[in-house]
Chain A
Amino acid sequence: MTIELLIGAIKAIVIVVLVLGLTTMMLWFERKGSALIQDRIGANRADIFGIGKRLGLPNFGFINTVLADPIKMFTKEDFVPDGADRALHALAPFLALFPVIITFAVAPMGDILRIGRYNIDLQPANLNVAALYVLATIGIGVYGIALGGWASNNRWAMLGAIRASAQMISYEIAMGLAIIAVVVTYGTLDLQAMCRIQGGVWFGWLPRWGILLQPVSFVMLLIAGMAESKRVPFDLPEGESELVAGYFTEYSGGKQAVFMMTDFAEVLLVAVLITTFFFGGWQVPWLYRDGFHFPGGAHLLMPNLIVALLEFVAFWVKVVIFSCFQILIRWTLPRLRYDQLMRLGWKGLVPLGLINLVVTAFVVVVAGGK
């Protein structure tokens, strides 16, 4: 019993550390990547006692992003504006971050790892209604944003908060419809089971990934996910040129750092969802539980530890790829106006999602459960 608890605790710690670490890496990729796209250099000054410069290495801005900026953010003065609700002002950032981090508890990081006589399922929490849990926690994420704007006693922050919450609850519907279509296709709500179903091949060589079954849902989930996390091209609530910083105008120091972390953690979350539903999760093409079975007929048998490690790494590589993809989209597309945004959500994605769902259900019933 205690061993089970210990294994669970280790899985939870691993995924929280990975998520927080990857958030920082995504922040670095955003700074340097955007600099590359915009034909400038980006941050490259901070150094520890000039070690890098003395060794002749070019400065990639690691120290800047990973060490200097967090120290700066957490040691800044933390003020609460006059007339604001102190309790809610302090609560809002954490109410925004908490649902995003706990959603990672159902991220399927890998297949079964056998250590001794324990079969460790590499998923921190094995819920059989995991997709519903994801929808629930994404719904709770609205509160932090809405309260952050309201508790600031600032008209513009309030406006940003109203826009942000209206946008989030509108695109939750599109996201829900995309997820439902995926659930109907796989016939299960369990994320780990979905990854397992995506093993195997068609025609002897094509991996059975979900993208080939549900391309429309993939596009919908990508768009709705980016709108949920209020990234450009949907970042009018943050409106850097209009509303100063929208709902987190009156936040400084550690609380603003938490809001920023929420942004990147949601990018990772959307990447995890896309990977799990459409790209096989931890599945490596042609890798089965006992080793590689290539379509040509070649086999490469491998011990369980190597297989589990390969699948674990494959999952996080895919997540990083999709996070970088979202960051690239951010620095490429212009911002959508608010009424265009709402029109896309309600008049574009919702009917598309409903039609997709009906067609999917029809195909599943006629084909007798593929």
Chain B
Amino acid sequence: MPPLVFAFLAALAIIASLGVILQRNPVHCVLSFALALTDIGVLFMGLGAVTVGFLQIVVYVGAIMVLFLFVIWLLNTQADALKPRGNLGIKFAGAIGAAVLAAELFVTFSSYPRMREIRTMPPDFGSIASVARMLFSDYLVAFEVTSLLLLASIVGAIALARTTTGAASPALPVTGGGDAPAGAPGASIASGAPARESA
């Protein structure tokens, strides 16, 4: 990918990531992260991994970040500004430690002889057909185990987050939601949201 495009995308990714860790309001953090994820997805596409780039946008930005937003609303988290400052010592040490880590990794990676891209990629590099071919041949066991993992996570999330007492406040006219989506907050929006609103 042309250096200028890479510079722009890299700067945007770094600014968005700094926005994730530095902003007060959790919703702003989630939006910043969605921007950073889209940026990384575009970087994937620039590296020839078109399928994985679009999958990143579909799965991460389109589903996981929406899940985060739902949870933040469900918990009705306030902005951190009103909380006590916390242990400043750990925060300071953490920032310094992260900067040292960044510098160390940076030096390590930059000291390799400059890795040039291999210009000639097969025409279907990164296409969905080649990804699928590898998934169903070399990585078949991992593929099947991943499907079991997803099933386990669905069952686990519902088991962890559902309310066993069935408490529902009459404050908001939210219908019981006969079949909520199989994500964590969906199973309890009806009871969680009114409880938070009236608190």
Contact = CB atoms under 8 A, between A and B. Distances in A.
Contacts of A343: 178-179
A346 interface: yes
B175 A146 contact: no
Contacts of A158: 73
A149 to B, nearest CB: 9
A169 interface: yes
Contacts of B73: 150, 158, 162
Which interface class (under 10, 10 to 19, 20 to 34, 35 or more) fits A? 20 to 34
Interface string B63-77: 100100110010000
A110 to B, nearest CB: 25
A150 B54 CA distance: 27
A90 interface: no
Contact of A339 (B51, B63, B179, B181): B179
What secondary structure prevails in chain B residues at the interface with A? Answer: helix
A169 B63 contact: yes
B12 to A, nearest CB: 16
Contacts of B180: 166, 342
Given A129-B51, A129-B128, A339-B177, A143 B58 contact: no
Given A166-B181, A189-B128, A339-B179, A129 B50 contact: yes
Contacts of A346: 179, 181-182
A169 B186 CA distance: 11
Given A136-B57, A162-B189, A146 B179 contact: no
A136 B51 contact: no
Given A129-B50, A132-B128, A337 B175 contact: yes
A170 interface: yes
A276 interface: no
A129 B44 CA distance: 14
A135 B58 contact: yes
Nearest to A149: B73
Contacts of A140: 57, 61-62
B65 to A, nearest CB: 8
A128 interface: yes
A338 B61 CA distance: 25
B21 interface: no
A53 interface: no
A165 interface: yes
Interface in B33-92: 34, 50-51, 54-55, 57-58, 61-63, 66, 69-70, 73
A364 interface: no
Nearest to A87: B28
A166 B185 CA distance: 10
A347 interface: yes
Contacts of A136: 54, 57-58, 61-62
Contact of B54 (A132, A143, A166, A338): A132
A72 interface: no
B181 A139 contact: no
B70 A162 contact: yes
Given A129-B51, A139-B57, A170 B172 contact: no
B177 A338 contact: yes
A39 to B, nearest CB: 33
A204 B55 CA distance: 41
A27 B35 CA distance: 33
B60 to A, nearest CB: 10
B13 interface: no
Contacts of B55: 132
Interface of A: 85, 88, 128-129, 132-133, 135-136, 139-140, 142-143, 146-147, 150, 155, 158-159, 162, 165-166, 169-170, 172, 189, 337-339, 342-343, 346-347
Given A143-B34, A162-B73, A342-B181, 4 more contacts: A132-B58, A139-B61, A170-B181, A343-B178
Closest 5 CB pairs of A and B: A139-B62, A339-B178, A136-B57, A132-B54, A136-B58
